[in-house]
Amino acid sequence: MNGRRLCVVLWVATFSLSEIGAQSPRSDAASLQALFEESTICENVVQLCRRCQGLSDTDRYTALVNWVLPNATRQNLRLRGGFDRSERLPGQREQVSLDPTASFRMYPEYDWIVSPAKDMVRLAVKIDKQAELRTSIEKLSSVAPQQKRSCDALLCLLALAEHDEAAAAEYSRTLFPTSKQLAVAKMSLRDLWIDVLVLSEMAACRSVESVPEPELFDRYVGLSEVHDNGQLDLLCDFVKLIRDYCWLAKLRVPKDQSIGLKDFVPLNLTTAKTHGEGRPLARFVLVDGVARKIGGHCVDALAYRSPMQGSFEIAAELRRNRGRSAAVFAQNQFVAVGAQSNQFMTGALNRPPQQMTIAPPMETFLSSLHGRVAIAGDGSRHSINGRFLDTGSVASGVLPWAGFLSERRNDFAVENVQIAGTPMVPHSIDLLASPKLAGWLRYFDDATTRDVESDDSVTDPVTWQIRRQPPSEPMLIAESDRRAVGSFREDLLRYVRPMVEDGTIEYDFFYHAPTQHSAQHTERPAQQFVHPALGRSVFLLTDDQIKFHQLTDGLHDQTSLRPDNSGDFPPGTWTADSVALNQNAWNHVALSIAGTQLVIRVNQEVVLKQPLSDFNSRLFGLFRFADQSSVKVKNVKWTGDWPGQVEIAQDRSLTPQAVTEINQWSKQLPDRWERDFRKGYSPRWFDFGGNRETIQSVTKGIRLHKTMQDGIGDMRACVRLEGDFDLAVTYQDLEISTEKPTWHSGNGLMIRFDNPLRDQVSLYRRVDRMGGMHCVAFAVKRLTPGGKAKFMGGTHVVDESTSGTHRLVRKDGKLLALHAIDDSECFRVIGEIDAPQGPVEIQGIRMVNHVGKGSRTSTTWSRLRIAGERIDRSDVDANATKKLVDELQQWRLNQSLLEADFSSPAAAGSSRWQRTGDAVFTANAQGCLMSLTATDNFDQAGMVLSDDLGRNFDVQIDFDIDQMDLPTKSRAHSEVALQVLFKIDALAVQGLQPVSEASILFRRDANGNDFIRPRVVGPTQYQSTVYRPIRTIPTKPVSMMRIVAKEGTLVFMSKTVEDPSFEVLATYPFPVGATAHLARFYATAAGEGCVVNVNWKRALVATAVPIATTDRP
């Protein structure tokens, strides 16, 4: 430029679209309209509607027609709208107090929607111009087909204004074809505004029949997504609100039926930005046991009505849109699922969430999830679908509210809410207990409050923050912003939980006003002052009097309110003539609510009494003009008239009533049996399927491992249940190997019933074999003619817990499967069926480990709890054993007796016993030695007595085992047994599994372990055989076995070589209609070459029926 200066002159022209249109061809004017109307007209709609309010009806109608309908300079119809939250307090609503079932016309958001087109058609009806207007619109529709949809929308609005709902319905079918789906992100503002204007008017119809069907809204694809275009995004909020209202209206809830929540309170997370934009308000309704959100602001929260401290948990089923967040929160913390399965979010009510990653990824699930937070001491544990995602530490007493959180544009619902543990309800709460200002939101700061924990971390002194200087109490401070002196910059710190019940919030603040001398400086010094606020009402405290200030939305405000506004209080307000403030000292403020009356006291003196309006959100706040005041506040305390006990009493349908009723009912059951496996286990009470050598006793209980080749498949309780019952087993540290499963792998609780179909129900925590999904599954199986258990049905929910409780309950003809994670007392109902008939068979309660090929499962079982109408323990305690044995001994003396002394074959009764099997029998001085050597897989030999022994009998065999080799056949046993066979009366045992045999088996396994097993055997209705061990007890070598049937009970007894006293092994019900007809004792040698030598000494048979002592002819 050679050092020369360049002067640029910029000429700016101002013009209107109509002026451009007058100078341009019609095609150019149309193009300009399309380019500029989308972004500019909506901003002017609100101002136009406000200006027209001051005109006469005729002039107003003319102005609206000229703006809406095409004219010489504009070809397009203008069906635009805007959102007007006027400075009138009803328009400034932040919270809903109306019944959600009220007409949509009563919703405040209905009045926020303003449109010249809507005003035009209403006014046309009012001044009798509707026929003229209809003619103009129909004519336009015929000459401008491209505007037919806009014309149909206007005609629909006109029909609605005339209450011609039939005609409106015809237009709506044209406007909203259900077969056509629309991607919201690709819709123009013009089309979406048409939809909002028409749908909102249809929703406001007097007749429910004319309210749009909820299915109509299925046409909007991506409605739940957040859009970058602010106007489009806001319109989507209103479409969702209208859709939700239509769903609620179609339910036709009776007018006398309340569906509002009473035990839960919506928290208010509104900011100046969201309020100024006109985001719809959130409502929560309770329908069919589900609390659903109607509409929604940005982040919406629902808290239990009472504050809770101490150790407790809160859990619930949450529904949400895919990709939208929902969470349970407590102590100001929440954890929510992220957009991807390997992500989750953690945050607080007053802090934006942080995205975090997790490995392995969470299980994919659809709309429903199970959320839980457990608080214990200073720690919190958050879980989603049983997966623990975060463990935090919280300071005592911070934010004692717990509840649920929903992201915006979310079809959020919550059900099956449970609160358990030992929560304490404090009489009052310290609102400054948290160094992170938990529970407080800075209304004018979109970033919310800062996390300031110490003076060293302060970066912006203007920000509200907690300062702690031990040993003094925490102090809330904020310096003035001297960069904006004279701007009256509003600053409000709000507590998110409204004062919905009677109560008082009080605080101390330091007051300092500049002296007259200091006020003469060029820059007026800052004062130290803070004012109480409730909702959008600010109560300015001055030396003269208390003044009213209405909160604005600052930079986001769309009204004509000034930030320094000050006016009269609403009618009915009483104020003191003056306010006595202590200069350069601490002052005390108390804001109290009793019913609908607000009272404010300053230094114990009443300065204001005011009736509260329905539209006041009752949110307490601390207000200042940041450019004028710094703040020092302490001792902020809230004393509320909230319920002193934690129970969901009024919103009972929100709780899982089945679980509540079961818990209460279970406490009344007469019989109980519990085992704490942390103290070990008794083999007398538990039997195992598999290799007992792999059982481990650990600190938390009994740890069982299972592979396809080894380990323990199940652990069986040696009890039998009759009638209704409540059965629960707790497990910990479940490990399932990560190989692709060839079968379901995991653990479970299984019950098998004593009925002809041998019904089997199971509740598993497993990895599913089909898709490898971690879940809790409920399954029902039944016996088939082929003798196998066939899957009859079931259900499952996603669950990734590694510790929990399986619970199966039979009550009032139903069987329910419930599951709780970790040590939770909050159970989920997984499934429900008609209860199978009959008792739970002996060893029918099984704690199982399942595996697939190549996989491994390990579980620590911690506790088994049974409550029932009758628990048959199949045993007698040590104190009762001698009494029972004496009674049986005495009874036997009075029966017909057959005694065989095998040391003297000629003795009376010996000849009645017939030898069986390929063994060598040799008489000796002690008895009859039977020598058995297996020549194949196994061989058996013994003696048998065939005779009618009746229903009351006593069979005993005395013997010595001279030799018992270890079995050489895999998974087999060498054994000596006593057996009694029964005849069955089919009619007498209808509905029960028949018993055809009772036996006692002394066995030796391949490892040299000796054990004794009493058992019963019976056929199924398909004639397959079912072996039912009663228990398996480790023992020393046995010298006597005895089975007695007396008065409907079978008693199994034995003696060992080392202890000559009787041991009662088990008892068992002797089925009605069964009679004994054969007694047998025998030995089994398992595996080729295996030798078992038994010296049979004496056999005793006593019966209530006569029995021959010698062979019968």
Distance, CA of 120 to CA of 64 (rounded, Å): 6
- For the chain, how many residues are written? 1113
In-domain check, residue 209: yes
87 and 174 inside one domain? yes
pLDDT value at 396 more than 70:
no
In the numeric block, which tokens belong to residue 891? 């009874």
pLDDT value at 944 more than 50:
yes
Distance, CA of 622 to CA of 462 (rounded, Å): 14
Mean pLDDT of the chain: 87
Domains identified in the chain, total number: 5
761 contacts 836 by C-beta, under 8 angstroms: yes
Residue 1073's pLDDT band, with cuts at 50, 70 and 90, is confident
- Which helix (H) or strand (E) segment holds residue 999: the answer is strand 997-1004
- Residue 1082 CB neighbour total at 10 angstroms: 25
Distance, CA of 717 to CA of 866 (rounded, Å): 10
Distance, CA of 835 to CA of 866 (rounded, Å): 17
Distance, CA of 1107 to CA of 950 (rounded, Å): 10
394 contacts 333 by C-beta, under 8 angstroms: yes
Helices (H) and strands (E) in the chain, counts: 13, 65
202 and 90 inside one domain? yes
Residues sharing a CB contact under 8 Å with residue 452, sequence separation 6 or more, in sequence order: 435, 436, 437, 458, 463, 465, 466
Share of the chain above pLDDT 70, in %: 89
In-domain check, residue 8: no
- What phi and psi, each to the nearest 5 degrees, are found at residue 944? -135, 145
pLDDT value at 393 more than 50:
yes
**Residue 435: strand pairing partners:** none
220 contacts 253 by C-beta, under 8 angstroms: no
635 contacts 508 by C-beta, under 8 angstroms: yes
841 and 905 inside one domain? no
858 and 891 inside one domain? no
807 contacts 817 by C-beta, under 8 angstroms: yes
620 contacts 494 by C-beta, under 8 angstroms: yes
pLDDT value at 39 more than 80:
no
pLDDT in the model for residue 573 = 94
Q: Any idea what the CATH number is for the domain that residue 600 is in?
A: 2.60.120.560
Residue among 540, 566, 561, 317 at smallest CA distance from 417: 317
- Residue 417 CB neighbour total at 10 angstroms: 25
Last residue of a domain, one of 212, 229, 250: 250
User: Domain span at residue 614?
Assistant: 453-640
1032 contacts 692 by C-beta, under 8 angstroms: no
In-domain check, residue 546: yes
- What phi and psi, each to the nearest 5 degrees, are found at residue 812? 50, 45
Question: The tokens 């930030």 sit on which residue?
Answer: 563
Does 515 or 188 have the greater pLDDT score? 188
847 and 882 inside one domain? no
Distance, CA of 941 to CA of 917 (rounded, Å): 4
Residue 221 DSSP SS3: strand
Distance, CA of 339 to CA of 224 (rounded, Å): 13
Last residue of a domain, one of 369, 391, 426: 426
Residue 447's pLDDT band, with cuts at 50, 70 and 90, is very low
pLDDT in the model for residue 664 = 93
34 and 103 inside one domain? yes
Lowest mean pLDDT among 496-505, 875-884, 1096-1105: 875-884
Distance, CA of 691 to CA of 1031 (rounded, Å): 16
- Residue 1032 CB neighbour total at 10 angstroms: 22
Packing angle, helices 165-175 and 148-161, rounded to 10: 160
Q: Cα 77 vs. chain centroid, distance in angstroms?
A: 50
pLDDT in the model for residue 90 = 60
Q: Taking the chain, what is the end-to-end CA distance rounded to the nearest angstrom? A: 143
In the numeric block, which tokens belong to residue 584? 């350069």
Residue 166 DSSP SS3: helix
- Which helix (H) or strand (E) segment holds residue 833: the answer is strand 828-834
In the numeric block, which tokens belong to residue 833? 């069926």
In-domain check, residue 925: yes
615 and 551 inside one domain? yes
861: left (phi over 0), alpha (psi -120 to 50) or beta: beta
pLDDT in the model for residue 891 = 95
51 and 188 inside one domain? yes
36 and 179 inside one domain? yes
In-domain check, residue 978: yes
Q: Any idea what the CATH number is for the domain that residue 953 is in?
A: 2.60.120.200
CA distances from 710 to 701, 743, 1003, 1105 (A): 20, 16, 21, 49
Q: What b/e readout covers 353-365, taking b as 16+ CB neighbours within 10 angstroms?
A: beeeebeeebbeb
Q: β-strand 857-872 against 671-676: which pairing, if any?
A: antiparallel
848 and 895 inside one domain? no
Last residue of a domain, one of 847, 872, 897: 872
Distance, CA of 243 to CA of 265 (rounded, Å): 23
In-domain check, residue 656: no
810 contacts 724 by C-beta, under 8 angstroms: yes
pLDDT value at 794 more than 50:
yes
475 and 421 inside one domain? no
77 and 118 inside one domain? yes
**What is the per-residue pLDDT across 297-350, written as a single tens digit (0 to 9) for each?**
888 899 999 999 999 999 999 988 877 888 999 988 888 887 778 888 888 887
Distance, CA of 820 to CA of 829 (rounded, Å): 9
In-domain check, residue 571: yes
